[in-house]
A = this chain, B = another copy of it.
């Protein structure tokens, strides 16, 4: 932690992202027990911090999943070069090809054009991305073998397949989710037979229990979590909160704190406050209706729970790891942007 960083929770600037160490460590231990070592390919898009990636690497999760070329570049720069997967299609992959002497880099492709870009860009290994039901990327299962053959004919290593069942992450009934995941992954396993290679990559925090079909699970949100994931039957708890300062108290029944929609991912709605309701969000303000107005004064600190962790983290420069009232580390959010 930089020498100038605050050592006490009360001295942190606001708004700040705060991570509770005991909960964070517990989430990591739970996942380690379920998906040890390379069974988990942590998704850097969720935490966007090389400090957290280094911790996961030390715990045995040496391969990483990335959503952007910038995330790959940042992990390479941090020396976490064992096995980096860009799990999204991109035409901007020459910048990754240029790093392929320094790191094992694999890129997802789902079309001739994305495969051609990988070949032209000096990328050395690919996964074939297969449509498993989410309306997003992925080739038709019937086309997966052809793309793999073309890649091999061009000298690329075909490491296997990936398919993201993102449409099933928020199915809260575990038995129902398990059946849906099995059907979705049957498509991916069919593609894997045609493609070859050792890797069948998929899954996420929401399906990390029910997806027993992949060789590796692409989960990242589990360690910090959010109120949306907390509605599911998952063995993780929310370790992340947004620290804010009360800057105004109105006799009309509300208080205002200095964490607005620019410090929260808003696509899943408002954050949650344990002492009352969120009334309105503005750029840099949240107006709250406390259960008991008289409990609150200007200068008090509050904590908000994020509705969607990944975009919340991406809005901040750093997270602060705390143990009770002590700030024990500062994690730069250094994998942002593109």
Q: Which residue in chain B gives the minimum CB-CB distance to A270?
A: B267
Q: Which of A1-27 contact B (CB under 8 A)?
A: 13-15
Interface of A is mostly: loop
Interface size on A, residues (CB 8 A): 57
Interface string of A73-96 (1 = CB under 8 A from B): 000000000000000111110000
- Please provide the chain A residues from 216 to 236 with a CB less than 8 Å away from any CB of chain B in the complex: none
Question: In chain B, what residue has the closest Cβ to A87?
Answer: B284
Closest 4 interchain pairs by CB? A266-B267, A113-B298, A89-B247, A137-B248
Option from B280, B283, B284, B311 in Cβ contact (under 8 Å) with A261: B311
B residues in contact with A247, CB < 8 Å: 88-91, 114, 137
Pairwise interchain contact B254-A135, C-beta atoms closer than 8 A: yes
Counting chain B CB atoms within 10 Å of each CB, which of A13, A89, A91, A267 scores highest? A267
Contact between chains at B131 and A250 (CB < 8 Å): yes
> Could you mark each residue 245-257 of chain A with 1 if its beta carbon is under 8 Å from any beta carbon of chain B, else 0?
1011111101010
**Copies held by the complex:** 2
Q: Which of A49-57, A171-179, A194-202, A313-321 contacts B (4 or more CB under 8 A)?
A: A313-321
- Are A92 and B13 within 8 A (Cβ)? yes
Q: A88-B285, A285-B88 are in contact. Are A261 and B265 (CB under 8 A)?
A: yes
A337 nearest in chain B by CB position: B317
Which of A45, A247, A287, A299 neighbours the largest number of chain B CB atoms within 10 Å of its CB? A247
The CA of A15 and the CA of B261, in the complex, are separated in Å by 21
Q: Are A338 and B14 in touch, CB under 8 angstroms?
A: yes
Q: Within 8 Å of chain B (Cβ to Cβ): is A63?
A: no
> Can you name 24 A-B pairs with beta carbons within 8 Å?
A14-B92, A45-B283, A68-B284, A88-B258, A88-B285, A89-B247, A89-B298, A90-B258, A91-B299, A92-B245, A111-B249, A113-B298, A131-B252, A135-B280, A136-B280, A136-B282, A136-B287, A166-B282, A258-B338, A261-B311, A266-B267, A266-B311, A315-B315, A317-B337
